[in-house]
Amino acid sequence: MTPGPSLDGMIARRLWRALVFVDTATKTSYLIQQGDRARLPLPPYSTDLDEAHRVVRFMQNQGYAARIRHDPESGMYRACFTLNDGRVYVYNKAETMPAAICIAALLALDNKNIQ
């Protein structure tokens, strides 16, 4: 999974059950607000650290503990979400912290473990 609008859309749909619209003419992604159906900019969860921290808070509210580490030798990031029953979901191949967080969150919610 590559950081950017596609991964951001997966996060919005999976975590917040948002409707995501892609304007093919402008290649811009939007969230469709329920009710008035207003278009809101799709947050850059996989490229912006503040938005990635919203993903961490969501996962913590779902009962996951989060651990995020940086390996200075390789320059890669590792994000880990753990449930109290011992299940661990890890993603350790991301070049940025936001990408590692987003990918690990999707893996955890899909009950997949890649180490």
User: Regarding predicted confidence, which is higher, 87 or 110?
Assistant: 110
Question: Residue 115 has what pLDDT?
Answer: 56
Does 29 score more than 60 pLDDT? yes
Amino acid at 47: T
Asked if residue 115 belongs to a domain, the reply is no
Domain that holds residue 80: 5-109
User: Regarding predicted confidence, which is higher, 84 or 44?
Assistant: 44
Residue 58 to residue 63: CA distance in whole angstroms:
9
Amino acid at 4: G
Asked if residue 21 belongs to a domain, the reply is yes
Structure tokens at 31: 């969230």
Cα-to-chain-centroid distance, residue 73: 24
Asked if residue 62 belongs to a domain, the reply is yes
Q: What is the mean pLDDT of the chain?
A: 91
Does 98 score more than 90 pLDDT? yes
Determine if residue 51 is left, alpha or beta; phi over 0 gives left, psi from -120 to 50 gives alpha, anything else beta. alpha
**CA neighbours closer than 13 Å in the CB half-sphere of residue 112:** 8
- Total structural domains in the chain? 1
